Amino acid sequence: GLTVIPGVELSSIDPDTGRKVHLLVYAPVYPEALEPHCSLLARRRRQAGEEMIGLVCARYPIRKEQILAQAAQSGTIYRVHIMRALMELGWTDSIYGSLYSELFGKNGSCRRGVEYPDVYRTARAARESGGAVILAHPGVYQSFAVGRCLAQQGLIDGLELRYPRRKPEEIPLHDELVSEYRLLTTGGTDFHGWYTAHPWPIGRC
């Protein structure tokens, strides 16, 4: 009884603020238009992941192969893959806890960042795919201002209006953007399974 809609979430950066911006693309007609962005980011993520693995392996008795086994079903390497391997070896009992903060927190000893593509270039690629382009959870990354610029340039079709981390005081900002530019509205659970400190059940939003 469920309708499955193909889609992708694209990470990018606002060049004016340096903050991340997430764009959703629903039902792309020409998904190949998104391939350069996805391939570029996958390579950058993997490079950062390889560097973090090296740093962690220098601090803990863990082998690179044990971490890569956790990432086998993924297109690249994420910090959670490293944490899962450390969990299996008994170094921590949770993915997001004190050890995660120590290794990968804001000033973590093993943290390595990823260089994200410019949001406007990303939005243009999303536009070329022929899908519906949605600004995702703008309150999470405070991307209302860049959302306005994207809307003014006709680079987005809608705004994710309902999501778990939306704060009550942000509702007027969402409503203003939607009303001024007559944007489509969507909802999303931002479901990450157990790869999140605060899981939300699917369908909540």
Do strands 7-13 and 132-135 pair parallel, antiparallel, or not at all (unpaired)? unpaired
φ, ψ at 175 (rounded to 5°): -60, -35
Alpha carbons 63 and 26: distance in angstroms, whole number:
39
Percent residues over pLDDT 70 in the chain: 100
- Average pLDDT, stretch 108-132? 96
- Average pLDDT, stretch 142-151? 96
Alpha carbons 200 and 192: distance in angstroms, whole number:
8
Alpha carbons 15 and 166: distance in angstroms, whole number:
23
Instruction: Identify which of 87, 22, 27 has the alpha carbon closest to the alpha carbon of residue 56.
Output: 87
pTM: 0.88
Alpha carbons 174 and 86: distance in angstroms, whole number:
40
For residue 99, is pLDDT > 80?
yes
